[in-house]
Structures are given as C-alpha cells and as structure tokens.
Structure 1
Amino acid sequence: MVIEFLIIFFLSLLFIRGVRNHSERLGLIDVPNGRSTHSSHTPRGAGIGFYLAVALVIPVFYFDIIVSYVWTCMAIFLVFIVGVMDDHHDTSPNTKFFVIMFGTFLLYLDGIVIDKAGLFFGFDISLGWFALPFTLFAVVGFTNALNLIDGLDGLAATVSIVILGSFFAVGYLHNDLFMMLMAGAFISALLGFLVYNWHPASIFMGDSGSLTLGFVISMLAIKSLAYLPAVSILFIAAIPILDTLVVMVRRKMRGRSMFSADRCHMHHILRHFFAEDTRKTVLFLVVLQGIYSLTGLQLEKEMDNGYLLILFLLNVVLLYMFLAAMIKRQNRDC
C-alpha cells in the first residue's frame, strides 16, 4: 500500500499545481468577501487535483475493491462533480443538497447505511424504516459541516487528515481493506495539497475538495459503526460537528436563521484570540481534534451510547459557554 500512497501524493502535487497555474483560464478563482480571511483573488478547486490523484491510482491497484463498492465510488464521483460545478460558477445549495442525498442513496445500495443506533440506557435501538432517512440526515449534515470549517489555510485539510487517520486505524485493527484504502489514499492526497495550502495558501480546495472529503468521511464513519459505538463517531469527527452545532444553536437563540452566514465560527473566534495568527489557530484545532479522535477510538462497541452521548453533549455546552465568553470579550456581533 505504501507505493500506491506515494504515487497518489506525487500525483496530487502535480495535478494541484496544474489547477493552480491554469485557474484563471478554468474559471476557478476565489473572490474575497466579508467573511474571507484572505484579501486577494486566490485560485481554488484543488479538490480536482487531489480527487483525480486518488481516482486514477486506486482502480489500477485495487480494481476488485472498486468493483465491490461500485455504487459508493459512483456516489463520491457525483459529489465531486457538483463540487467542481460550484467552484466554477457557484451551484445553488439545493442542487448540492439533492446530489449529496442521491449519493447517500447509492451508499445504501452498497449496504452502507446506519441501521442500528446501538445500546442506549440498556435498550438496543434498531432504526428499521428510519435507517435511510437518518443516514441521509447524517451524511448531508456532516458533509456541510466539513465545508463550513474550510475557512482558514490548511484547516479543513489537517482536521480531515486526523479524522481519516482515525478511520485508517479502525480499518487496520479490524482488517477492513476498503476503509484503509480510502482513508490512506485521501490522507496521501491531502498531504500533497498541504504543500500549497499551508499558510500562506496559494490555492484553496474549494467545494470540489470539501464536499468530497465530507462525503468520504461520512461514508467511512458509517462503515466504522460495525466496529465502534455510534457516539464514538461524534468524538472522532468532533471539530466540524461541534462547530456546526454551536453556531446553529447560537444563531437560533439570537433569532437568526440557523443557515445564515457570519464570521462566528470557532476558527474565526480563535484566530482573533491568537492575534490573527492562522498557523497557531490551525495547530490548536488540529491538536484538539486529535484529542477528541483518540478519545473516540478508546470507546468499545459494547459501551452504552446513552452515557457517551451525555458526555458529548456536555462538551457542546462547555464549548458554547467558552466561545460565548470569547465573543463577548471580542465585542463580536454573533
């Protein structure tokens, strides 16, 4: 596997460089707005480069695995395509929403679905007819959550590497070749991307990258439910989930739309705390994600999810209070 991952890394470097150098001609330019942390026009669409690196290498070495998960691979491809369309000319949210939903249905055809919630306060919860709707909610929610943290140079990529590394470990411990392959391949591709995206970034991943990554991580999370308790996934992928939950609760309590845009995400607040130092902010959040992920990996399949969920919700409350205090101190309108 090491040789394949090295090839993916170098192809990712090559393809992303090509996208960056031809971004104007391809119409892949990010124009800064009021929520941006950059002030100049910057190439975007690096997701095209790192997805292609994975998509071209994996079938050559593991064609049998691809055939076994053909609907899953098709789903990832469709989400990638709608991301490319958005990078090029800002696709409507409804279009992205329906493509992700359709992609989730394709996962269902490969048996990748949340059909059991596990043990909650002594009761074994099976979702039955609600399995597919709940899976749709989870995948759409997390895919967009990862998209929302893509606001600082290197943040989405490094957080994703930590999360993917956790799922690689799960696949390795349980001899799940598909999990190891997908997690390792995207880690390799993202390491190539970070060469260009570490602050100061010369190119952004765009929705072609963030939507694809969010969808792939969601898929791996569902696969890992065969080996881990459900709530452990909330810890393994904590930073995007916590950020989205806290922001949406705060907006609701302030009487705003939960889907409105602002500069009140965790990374915005922490960046101001670190004197606008992007690298320190990213490193802090990556370390925090690492702690959460290691916590999630320690949880055993037989544990009661009810008590674990209480523990996670306590983290939500504490983070909300901590960020609320920082917002007040920074006189930020959130």
Structure 2
Amino acid sequence: MYIEFVLIFLLSLVLIRVVRHYAPKVGLIDVPNGRSSHVSHTPCGAGIGFYLAVAVVLPLFHFESLAAHTWSLLAVFLVFLIGILDDHRDASPRTKFIVLIVSTLFLSFDGLVIDDIGTFFGQPVAFGWFSLSFTLFAVAGFTNALNLIDGLDGLAATVSIVILGTFFIVGYQHDDTFMMILSMAFIAALLAFLVFNWHPASIFMGDSGSLTLGFVISLLAIRSLEYLPTVSVLFIAALPILDTLIVMIRRKLSGRPVFSADRCHMHHILRHFFAEDTRRTVLFLGILQAIYSITGLQLDKEMDEGYLLILFILNLVLLYLSLGAMIRRQKRKC
C-alpha cells in the first residue's frame, strides 16, 4: 500500500493547489462571519482535490476490492457532489438530507446497515424494520457532527486522520482489505491537505471535504460494528459526537434552538483557553481524540454494551462540566 499512499499524497498536493488557484474564479470562497476563526476571504473546496486524488489512484491498485463495494462508493460520490454544490451556492438542508437518505440506502445495498447495537444489561437491542431509519439517523448525525468541528485550521483533518488511522488498525486486525485501503487513501489525501490547511490556512476543505469525510467515516464505523462493540465505535469517533451532544444539550438547557449557530463549540472554548493559539488547540484536540480512539480499541466485543455506555456517558458529563467551567471563566454567552 506504500506506492498508492505516496501517489495519493502527491496527486492531492497537485490537485489542491489547482483548486486553490481557480477557486476564487468560480466562486468557491469562504467569507468570514461572526463565528469564523479567520478574518480574510479564503478559497474553499479543497475536498474536490483530495477526493479526486483518491478516486483516481485507488482503482488502479485495488479495482477488485472496490468493485465489490460499488454501491458504497456511489454513495460517497453522491455526498461529494452535494458538498460541491453546497460550497458553490449553499444547498438547502432539505436537499442535503435527501442525498443522505439516498446514499444511506445505497450503503444498505452493500449490507452496511445497523441491524442491532449489542446487548445492554443482558437485553439485546435490535431494530428490525427500523434498521435503515436508525442507520440514516447515525450517518446523518455523524456527517453533520464532523462538519461542525471544521471550525479551525487543520482541526477536521487532524481529527479525521486519527479516526481513520484507528479504523485502518481495525481493518488490519481483522484482515478487512476494504477498510484498510479506504482509510489509508483518505489519510494520505488529508496529510497533503494539511500542507495547505495548517494554520494559517491558505484553503479550506469546504463541505465537499467535510461532508465526504463524515460520510466515509460513518461507512467505516458501520462496517467496524462487525468486529467491535457499538460503544467502542463511539469512542473511536468520539470528539465530533461529544462536541455536538454538548452544544445541543447546552442550547436546550438555555432555552435556545438546539440547531442554532454560536461560538460555543469545544474548539472555540479551548482556543480561547490556549490564548487564541490555533495550532496548540488543534494538537490538543488531536491528542484527545487519539486517547479516545485507543480506549475504543481496548473494549471487548463480549462486554455488555450497557456498562460501556455508562463509561461513554461519564466522559460526556466530565467534558460538559469542564467546558462549562471554562465558559464561566471566559464569561462566554453559551
């Protein structure tokens, strides 16, 4: 896999540079607003470059493995397309949700659907006819959660690399070629992207990147349920999930709409804590995600999911209280 890793990395470097050059001419520009961490107009759409690098190189080396998962790859492609549309002219939430419905349906054609989530306190939890609906809920939830943490230079890419690296290990441990090659390919592409996106960023991945990444990680997470406890997967992809849950809980408790926008995400609070040092904030969150991912790898599939879920909820409560203390100290309105 070394040759394709290097080729994807190099091709991503070239294509992202091309996208950066032409983005302003075709309207792929991120204009800063009150919630932005940047102050100048910045090209976006780097996801176009790193997705195309993966799509071009990977079939040259692993055509048979990819051909066995045609529906899944088509699903990723659809999400990528709606991401481009959103970068260019802001696709409506309804349009994006319809695409996620169709894409999740395509995943089910490849057998990637969440039928059950294990045994909780001795009681098996299966979804039966609602399996596809729950899968859509999980996929849409995580895809948007990853999109929400794309708020600092290098953050979404760094967290995604850690998560993808963990899924690569899972694939390696269980001889799952598809998991390994897909994880490896996007890690290579994201490392190239970080050359341009590390603070101060000269281009953003845009929704063409964040939505695609969120969907790919969701795909890998569902596949990994064959080998891991459900809560283990929650830990492996913990940071986007915990951040989204915490901001939604805080908004609900303060009487605001749970989907309203603000500057109360984990990365906003920690960046202020680190004296507005973006790089230190991203490195800290990357290390925190790595700790969660390593924890997820240690959990045994034979363990009762109920006790594991308590462990995850305790992490949620601890993080909620810690961030709450920082918010009060910063006199931040959240």
Residue 193 of structure 1 corresponds to 193
Asked if 1:261 corresponds to 2:261, the answer is yes
Superposed counterparts of 1:171-320, under 5 Å: 171-320=171-320
Deviations 1:99-133 (A, max 9, x none): 11210110001000111211211122222112111
How many Å separate the matches in 2 of 1:205 and 1:327?
A: 29
How many Å separate the matches in 1 of 2:26 and 2:140?
A: 28
Shift of 1:149: 0.1
Superposed counterparts of 1:49-128, under 5 Å: 49-128=49-128
Asked if 1:147 corresponds to 2:138, the answer is no
Sequence identity percentage: 71
Which structure 2 segments of 5+ residues have no match? none
- Mean alpha-carbon deviation: is it higher for 243-252 or for 65-74? 65-74
How many Å separate the matches in 1 of 2:260 and 2:98?
A: 20
Residue 307 of structure 1 aligns to which amino acid in structure 2? Y
Residue 13 of structure 1 corresponds to 13
Shift of 1:271: 0.2
Shift of 1:249: 0.3
SS in 2 for 1:210: helix
Residue 135 of structure 2 corresponds to 135
Shift of 1:25: 1.2
SS in 1 for 2:125: strand
**TM-score computed with the length of structure 2 as normaliser:** 0.99
Deviations 1:234-289 (A, max 9, x none): 10001000000000000001111110000000000000000000000000000000
How many Å separate the matches in 1 of 2:255 and 2:189?
A: 41
How many Å separate the matches in 1 of 2:95 and 2:258?
A: 19
Which structure 1 segments of 5+ residues have no match? none
How many Å separate the matches in 1 of 2:124 and 2:322?
A: 34
Residue 174 of structure 1 aligns to which amino acid in structure 2? H
- Mean alpha-carbon deviation: is it higher for 92-101 or for 225-234? 92-101
Shift of 1:63: 1.4
SS in 2 for 1:62: helix
After superposition, the CA RMSD in angstroms is 0.7
Residue 97 of structure 2 aligns to which amino acid in structure 1? F
Deviations 1:119-164 (A, max 9, x none): 2111222221121111000000000000000000000000000000
Residues matched between the structures, number: 334
Residue 179 of structure 1 aligns to which amino acid in structure 2? M
SS in 2 for 1:189: helix
How many Å separate the matches in 1 of 2:292 and 2:159?
A: 11
SS in 2 for 1:22: helix
Residue 137 of structure 1 aligns to which amino acid in structure 2? F
How many Å separate the matches in 2 of 1:95 and 1:83?
A: 11
Residue 160 of structure 2 corresponds to 160
How many Å separate the matches in 1 of 2:298 and 2:325?
A: 31
- Mean alpha-carbon deviation: is it higher for 108-117 or for 58-67? 58-67
How many Å separate the matches in 2 of 1:139 and 1:268?
A: 25
Residue 310 of structure 2 aligns to which amino acid in structure 1? I
